[in-house]
């Protein structure tokens, strides 16, 4: 029980830090809060918020789903018994955490493609050779930066790095409990199998004892 409480404590701490950071980015993106000062944290929030754009909303939703599934999974692992519904809940929420981690990766991939497409179309779409020569390489590069290529790069970083971080959090917080649950379930299944085999053996023995011996 103490180990479970320790795991739950660090689970809450880690997910609270990650969730708070993304929620602050989301609030900044919609103009609901504004950060002032010259500290590294404030500068980092400004930079990441500018570069992630509207993808922050989807990252927050995926992170919220992951946190909910982690909370429910931890609760069911701490209280699970032989009931079938508890086993189903554990398997359901365990799959849910994996799904939301995959969605987190997918958001990064989709916004990467969208950012690159938007940057290329906005920068060189409809531009002929003469106009491209007038704009110059530096002008085209600036158009790429201003029209979404940084969003593409940053969503790749956040989607990939964040997805692996969520996997790490799940492994550290619930990996041991999930392993113990799997071992226990295999043991129960083996016990049930051996019990059925013993029952079949006993029934066959009873049938043989009741069968009359053939007359000579």
Task: Give residue 120's pLDDT.
Answer: 76
Number of C-beta neighbours around residue 133 at 10 A = 10
Task: Give residue 75's pLDDT.
Answer: 84
Task: Give residue 39's pLDDT.
Answer: 62
Separation between Cα atoms, residue 6 and residue 39, nearest integer Å: 33
Q: Please state the φ and ψ torsions of residue 163, each to the nearest 5 degrees.
A: -60, -45
Task: Give residue 107's pLDDT.
Answer: 92
The answer to whether residues 173 and 14 touch, using CB atoms and an 8 Å cutoff, is yes
For the ranges 101-110, 141-150, 166-175, the maximum mean pLDDT occurs at: 101-110
Task: Give residue 36's pLDDT.
Answer: 65
Separation between Cα atoms, residue 37 and residue 39, nearest integer Å: 6
Number of C-beta neighbours around residue 165 at 10 A = 15
Question: Pick the residue with more confidence: 85 or 17?
Answer: 17
Quick check: 10 pLDDT over 80?
no
Q: Angle CA(94)–CA(96)–CA(101) in degrees, nearest 5?
A: 105
Task: Give residue 104's pLDDT.
Answer: 93
Separation between Cα atoms, residue 95 and residue 1, nearest integer Å: 24
Q: Kindly provide the b/e burial profile for residues 181-199, where b requires at least 16 CB atoms within 10 angstroms of the residue's own CB.
A: beeeeeeeeeeeeeeeeee
- Comparing CA positions, the residue from 115, 106, 95, 98 lying closest to residue 160 is 106
| Mean pLDDT across 35-64 | 72
Q: What would the pLDDT profile of 177-188 be if each residue is shown by its tens digit?
A: 888 887 877 777
Quick check: 167 pLDDT over 70?
yes
Separation between Cα atoms, residue 78 and residue 98, nearest integer Å: 20
Q: What would the pLDDT profile of 124-134 be if each residue is shown by its tens digit?
A: 777 767 776 77
| Mean pLDDT across 57-85 | 80
Q: Is the dihedral of CA 47, 52, 53, 56 positive or negative?
A: negative
Helix axes 40-52, 150-210, angle to 10 degrees: 80
The answer to whether residues 29 and 56 touch, using CB atoms and an 8 Å cutoff, is yes
| Mean pLDDT across 139-152 | 74
Residues of the chain above pLDDT 90, percent = 10
Quick check: 143 pLDDT over 60?
yes
- The per-residue DSSP string of 38-101 comes to --HHHHHHHHHHHHHTTHHHHHHHHHHHHHHHHHHHHHHHHH--S-HHHHHHHHHHHHHHHHHH
Separation between Cα atoms, residue 90 and residue 96, nearest integer Å: 10
Question: Pick the residue with more confidence: 206 or 75?
Answer: 75
Quick check: 82 pLDDT over 60?
no
| Mean pLDDT across 129-141 | 72
Confidence of residue 95 (pLDDT cuts 50, 70, 90): very high
């Amino acid at each position: 029980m103490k180990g479970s409480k320790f795991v739950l404590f660090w689970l809450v701490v880690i997910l609270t830090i990650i969730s708070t950071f993304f929620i602050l980015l989301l609030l900044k993106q919609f103009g609901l809060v504004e950060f002032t000062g010259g500290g590294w944290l404030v500068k980092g929030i400004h930079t990441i918020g500018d570069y992630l754009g509207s993808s922050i909303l989807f990252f927050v939703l995926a992170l919220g789903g992951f946190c909910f599934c982690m909370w429910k999974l931890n609760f069911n692992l701490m209280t699970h018994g032989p009931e079938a519904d508890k086993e189903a809940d554990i398997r359901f929420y365990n799959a849910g955490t994996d799904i939301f981690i995959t969605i987190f990766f997918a958001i990064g991939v989709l916004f990467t493609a969208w950012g690159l497409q938007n940057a290329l179309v906005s920068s060189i779409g409809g531009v002929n050779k003469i106009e491209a020569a007038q704009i110059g390489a530096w002008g085209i590069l600036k158009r790429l930066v201003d029209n979404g290529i940084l969003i593409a790069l940053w969503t790749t970083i956040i989607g990939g790095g964040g997805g692996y971080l969520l996997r790490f959090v799940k492994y550290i917080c619930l990996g041991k409990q999930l392993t113990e649950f799997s071992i226990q379930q295999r043991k129960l299944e083996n016990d049930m199998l051996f019990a059925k085999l013993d029952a079949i053996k006993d029934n066959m023995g009873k049938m043989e004892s009741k069968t009359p011996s053939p007359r000579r």
